[in-house]
Amino acid sequence: MKIKVLYLASLRERLGKAGEDLEISPATSTVAGLRTLLIARGGNWQTTLAQGNALRVAVNQEMAQPTTPVKPGDEIAFFPPVTGG
Amino acid sequence: MPVRIQTKDFDAGAEIAALRRDNPKVGAVASFIGVCRDANDGTAVTKMTLEHYPGMTEKALEKIVSEAKRRWDVMDVLVIHRVGELKPAEQIVLVVVTGAHRGEAFAACEFIMDYLKTRAPFWKKEETPQGTRWVEARSSDDEAAQRWEPPKSSAA
């Protein structure tokens, strides 16, 4: 299935990428699954997205949990904890 | 629009006047202005760049405003948050809440800021004499937001 992935703020800088369109297996059905898939790329991906790193994920611009489903056409954004205000 | 994201500065006095519209039912106006400081964690800050997640930012702020209106008896709410480059002493964020009484207006205003700091997708990058750095989220901000969570026993 096709999804859109965004990397924001410090994640964008560390990964050297603002986002990408991905074609992933329907077996990757959750946020946690997608994160594991990206970590498996190794290198910067592994160190930046490693489990235990504080990061937040939004699915279709709503805050998401590791168990949040990922569906075709979704926009999934990875970003660090927010620091506005 | 109760929520605005903009690069330009704002005039708090004019915004408050526009929100009140001389409505004689308004007995209290609570406001908060967040300002860019010239130091953070013991290091001088010469400039700050605020990034956000267009689309989600507006939705997240509107949700926070709706929640504040649900919890407290207030009339109108305005949130303005700037993005882009800011220098020390420049205004970053404005929250204004109008209501009949001060207690509800104060509480709603503080709630909106506490939730904005932990739930609205903004990120600050600081320029210091040692180079640029992303601001780290503070656990004290999480604790401030948690004060507003319903007690665990009644959460279910």
Q: Specify the pLDDT at position B152.
A: 61
For the stretch B80-110, pLDDT in tens is: 999 999 999 999 999 999 999 999 999 999 9
Report how far residue B80's alpha carbon sits from residue B110's, in angstroms, rounded to the nearest whole number: 15
pLDDT tens readout for residues B52-87? 999 999 999 999 999 999 999 999 999 999 999 999
Q: What are the start-end ranges of the H helices in A1-85?
A: 10-15, 31-39, 43-49
CATH fit for domain B3-146, picks 1.10.3720.10, 3.40.50.10240, 3.40.50.360, 3.90.1170.40: 3.90.1170.40
Which residues share a beta bridge with B145? none
Q: Are B10 and B88 in contact (CB under 8 A)?
A: no
Under a CB-based contact definition with an 8 Å cutoff, are residues A4 and A44 in contact? no
> What is the percentage of chain B residues whose pLDDT exceeds 70?
96
The verdict on a CB contact (< 8 Å) between A62 and B59 is: yes
Please state, in angstroms and rounded to a whole number, the distance separating the CA atoms of residues B89 and B67.
Answer: 30
* Residue numbers in B near A61 (CB within 8 A): 53, 55-56, 59-60
Domains assigned to chain A: 2-79 (3.10.20.30)
Cβ atoms B125, B132 nearer than 8 A = yes
